[in-house]
Structure 1
Amino acid sequence: MPAESAAEVDIPEGFELSKSRGPFTTHNGPVFRATGAGDLRCGIRVLDRHCNSMGFMHGGMVSSFADGALAWAVWHATKKMSVTLKLTISYFDTIRPGTWLEAHPEVISSEDGIVHVCADLLINGEKLGARADATFRTLRRTAK
């Protein structure tokens, strides 16, 4: 099956292809970000390649998507690159192909380069599919 390009993926209004994607996300995406000022939501259209043999989104893909959304919130709050120290995912529902999965990240605290952040991952913007909680460490390098 050919890989879908970002242009071929149906995305909700108010989102655009993420511009700061590394090779991993570029290969495994596409991932999108909300375009409104201060709107930190990230989204992904679940494609067949994101799914496990049972036909729903692979837990590792959910985790990877959540990690990226959380890192985006850390960058937005600190204007610094960061690394994940701890990531916990709680799964509440299966996420099927064709679903729009949306992360709603929120920074809980930031002190001395340690940032605590969480996100609800909503199926089609409504139903809770998963929740992510993480701790990040910011790096000295700041964004350009």
Structure 2
Amino acid sequence: MDIDFIERLIELAKKSGIAGLEYEANGETVRITLGDEETTGSAQRVAHVETKVAGHADEPPPPALHRLTSGMAGTFYRSPAPGAEPYVKPGDTIEEGQVLGLIEAMKMLTPIEADRAGRIQSIMVEDGAPVVRGMLLFEIGD
């Protein structure tokens, strides 16, 4: 599924006022869960998106991914300043303790550090997007 389709699903869920939805097609599943002001601390509804692709019996199982989640609510930034290069991109090799992004809360920037070495498989949050505690930020592989 492409990101435009997923974004349309998020907008549909937000407009309808539902708490979330799950969509499955061609072995791919997208689960969207929405939070509101009670869970995020803001008047904005925030979407958490999970995607899953069903594997085929003749394919090897996917490598185990480490999931790095947010330890706080705020605004996620991929780079140290507007227009600057992001800290990391999918495919980058990282070291434990390396800064992967920032979360701004109450006008303070908190670095998001890698809790293990590996390779960035995916970045699950867009630059400038609101995040909540426990929200998936990065998937890190070996």
- State the TM-score bracket (shorter-chain normalisation): under 0.3
Q: Higher helix proportion, which one?
A: 1
Whose Rg is larger?
A: 2
TM-score by length of 1: 0.28
TM-score by length of 2: 0.28
